[in-house]
């Protein structure tokens, strides 16, 4: 038995309980978790904004050590450090065939299967494939990536979602060029990763926007050169800080209609707005035909940073080893499994960066 955080139903409190994991069968890997990040997507799963089969073990951003492997698994072995990949690509669907592995048709196929059982025999699904809010998990082999050399195992959990998403949003989705101005709306874990990635790209100025004045120090440490407390005048404030034109690139990390619209309004003519935040179906945004023509802006979504983890992890590892990307600055709280509900409340209130469950 291992301890895990279970979501029994949409909107229900998380239950910390023992679960029974199977031994890894062919093509499966058992991992002892070192740490798991508490992501806004986990909150979206718990409140029903995103739907998965329930009951489930939540948690999709994690890293740990391989305990055992099933038949046919050769790329990792017991004792290896690994990063969990919640959206593995199949390599054969139409999206994978053209290199858009982040849109793989089968990426979440594993989430519908039975992952583990409670002590009384209730079937449990793995939230977003990996069930990382547990002391141990059993996942498909393509859900584990070897930990790059020189990357601390505990902090490496952040590579599984926040860092790949933030880095990819800047370098793949928005394609930020050196010297371009960037505004980042939402200074949570992903927003902090976006700020560091914009700094690596040589962007400037880099403006961080958040509802909380207390996040200014976090944002500046991550690479923000300017900080704006969100208000009705945010778009005007951004234009003032970017020579009256607006930012070349806006990255929205909140997932609300109002912040997406603000991001759009904050960019210059011909600017680019990339939406990373996951919003609900009720978050409706409107544009009129004339403004679309006049401003000539681009609005695009971003899934998992439009990243290919197998290619991007080695690049990120080099930035980490060289000191250009500091994983520890994303973490504002280290907690146990029992601290996840409070971490959810902090996210709802807009407090802090990333909470990290450390086992």
Cα-flanking dihedrals φ and ψ of residue 203, to 5°?
Answer: -70, 155
Q: Is residue 311 part of a domain?
A: no
**Same structural domain for residues 236 and 290?**
yes
Give the CA angle between residues 235, 239, 243 to the nearest 5°: 175
Q: Is residue 175 part of a domain?
A: yes
Q: Is residue 308 part of a domain?
A: no
CA–CA dist 63, 61 (Å, integer): 7
* pLDDT score at 92: 94
**Same structural domain for residues 199 and 68?**
no
Tally of CB atoms within 10 A around 359 = 18
Q: Is residue 320 part of a domain?
A: no
Q: Is residue 188 part of a domain?
A: yes
**Same structural domain for residues 236 and 289?**
yes
| pLDDT confidence band for 264 (50 / 70 / 90) | very high
Give me the DSSP letters along 114-182. --EEETT--EEEEGGGT--SBSEEEEEGGGEEEPPTTS-TTGGGGGGTHHHHHHHIIIIIS-PPTT--E
Per-residue pLDDT tens digits for 147-157: 999 999 999 99
Tokens standing for residue 298: 């681009």
**Same structural domain for residues 119 and 27?**
yes
**Same structural domain for residues 337 and 243?**
no
* pLDDT score at 48: 83
Q: Is residue 69 part of a domain?
A: yes
* pLDDT score at 205: 97
* Helix-then-strand count for the chain, H and E: 10, 18
Number of domains in the chain: 2
> Residue 7 pLDDT more than 90?
yes
pTM score? 0.94
HEC states along 31-69?
A: EEEEEEEECHHHHHHHHCCCCCCCCEECCCEEEEEEEEE
CA–CA dist 147, 129 (Å, integer): 19
CA–CA dist 140, 163 (Å, integer): 22
> Residue 181 pLDDT more than 90?
yes
Give the position of tokens 């690596």: 200
**Same structural domain for residues 116 and 262?**
no
**Same structural domain for residues 101 and 207?**
no
**Same structural domain for residues 197 and 106?**
no
**Same structural domain for residues 21 and 134?**
yes
Q: What CATH number does the domain containing 184 carry? A: 3.40.50.720
Average of per-residue pLDDT across 317-343 = 94
**Same structural domain for residues 130 and 177?**
no
**Same structural domain for residues 17 and 148?**
yes
Q: Is residue 242 part of a domain?
A: yes
Per-residue pLDDT tens digits for 67-121: 999 999 999 999 999 999 999 999 999 999 999 999 999 998 888 889 999 988 8
- Mean pLDDT score of the chain, rounded to an integer? 95
Domain that holds residue 198: 166-302
> Residue 348 pLDDT more than 90?
no
**Percentage of the chain surpassing pLDDT 90?**
87
* pLDDT score at 11: 86
Q: Is residue 307 part of a domain?
A: no
**Same structural domain for residues 10 and 151?**
yes
Q: What CATH number does the domain containing 16 carry? A: 3.90.180.10
């Amino acid at each position: 038995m291992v301890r895990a955080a279970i979501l029994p139903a949409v909107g229900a409190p998380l239950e910390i309980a023992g679960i029974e994991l199977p031994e890894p069968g062919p093509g499966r890997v058992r991992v002892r978790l070192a740490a798991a990040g508490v992501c806004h997507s986990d909150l979206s799963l718990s409140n029903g904004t995103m739907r998965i089969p329930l009951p489930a073990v939540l948690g999709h951003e994690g890293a740990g050590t391989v305990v055992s492997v099933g038949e046919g698994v050769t790329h990792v072995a017991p004792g290896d450090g690994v990063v969990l990949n919640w959206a593995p690509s199949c390599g054969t669907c139409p999206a994978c065939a053209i290199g858009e592995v982040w849109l793989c048709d089968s990426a979440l196929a594993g989430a519908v299967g039975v992952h583990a059982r409670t002590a009384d025999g209730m079937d449990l699904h793995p939230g977003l494939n990996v069930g990382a809010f547990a002391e141990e998990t059993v996942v498909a082999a393509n859900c584990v990536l070897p930990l790059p050399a020189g990357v601390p195992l505990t902090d490496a959990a952040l590579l599984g979602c926040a860092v790949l998403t933030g880095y990819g949003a800047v370098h793949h989705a928005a394609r930020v060029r050196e010297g371009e101005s960037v505004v980042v709306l939402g200074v949570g874990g992903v927003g902090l990763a976006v700020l560091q990635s914009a700094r690596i790209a040589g962007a400037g100025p880099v403006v961080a926007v958040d509802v909380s004045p207390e996040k200014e120090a976090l944002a500046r440490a991550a690479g923000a050169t300017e900080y704006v407390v969100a208000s009705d005048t945010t778009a005007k404030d951004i234009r003032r800080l970017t020579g009256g034109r607006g930012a070349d690139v806006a990255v929205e990390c909140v997932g609300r209609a109002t912040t997406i619209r603000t991001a759009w309004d904050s960019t210059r003519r011909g600017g680019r707005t990339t939406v990373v935040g996951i919003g609900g179906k009720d978050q409706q945004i409107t544009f009129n035909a004339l403004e679309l023509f006049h401003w000539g802006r681009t609005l695009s979504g971003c899934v998992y940073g439009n990243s290919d983890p197998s290619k991007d992890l080695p690049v990120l590892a080099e930035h980490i080893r060289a000191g250009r990307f500091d994983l520890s600055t994303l973490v504002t709280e280290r907690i146990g499994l029992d601290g996840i509900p409070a971490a959810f409340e902090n996210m709802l209130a807009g407090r802090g960066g990333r909470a990290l469950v450390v086992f």
